[in-house]
Amino acid sequence: MTAAYELTRANYNCQIIELTERAGGRNHTARRGTVIKEVNEKGKTTEQVCNFDPDLYLNLGPGRLPYHHRRVLHYCKELDVALEVYVMETMANLFQSDNAFGGSATVRRRIANDMQGYISEMLAKAVNQNALNAELDATDRDNLLCLLKNFGDLGQNEIVVFAARISATNAI
């Protein structure tokens, strides 16, 4: 399609030949009324009609345009193709802020793991100072200890102090 577009701009006559009744190949968006026809290996045709609510849609083909696909993005801009932000969240995403991480990009999994450790450390300190005694009964304390062991990978020293506080409180 890009070649035909550019050749047409250079005064050549082009014809796009497509396997289906619409051009675009895998680039296809389903909206209310869109009909998808599939033919199996035995020649039987199955037809599906999209019944989405108005203004809803599903991209059936490529789901995103990475930032480095500059030529495709150029044509989207030139042809006034509406684009939307696509947030793909994986543990490999990079986050960057001038106000955090020394201004460097940081991998999401590191932020998540550090956050779990910080939360566990703060909770352990609060429990060790008996700051949660009014809110936690013995079962809640045991459950919290179990969570903190797994959730935040606290050092043995923090767990021992924490466990001793729980035992002392339970004895009272």
Grouped pLDDT means (10 residues each) for the chain, 172 residues: 94 90 82 91 94 90 83 93 80 85 89 84 79 79 74 60 49 46
Structure tokens at 118: 């910080």
Quote the pLDDT of residue 142. 75
State how far the Cα of 133 lies from the Cα of 166, in Å rounded to an integer. 9
Quote the pLDDT of residue 152. 65
Quote the pLDDT of residue 64. 79
Quote the pLDDT of residue 1. 87
Q: What backbone torsions phi and psi does residue 43 show, to the nearest 5 degrees?
A: 90, 5
Quote the pLDDT of residue 172. 44
Quote the pLDDT of residue 166. 46
- pTM given for the model: 0.45
Q: 20 CB contacts (<8 Å, ≥6 apart)? A: none
Quote the pLDDT of residue 154. 64
State how far the Cα of 42 lies from the Cα of 67, in Å rounded to an integer. 42
Quote the pLDDT of residue 157. 58
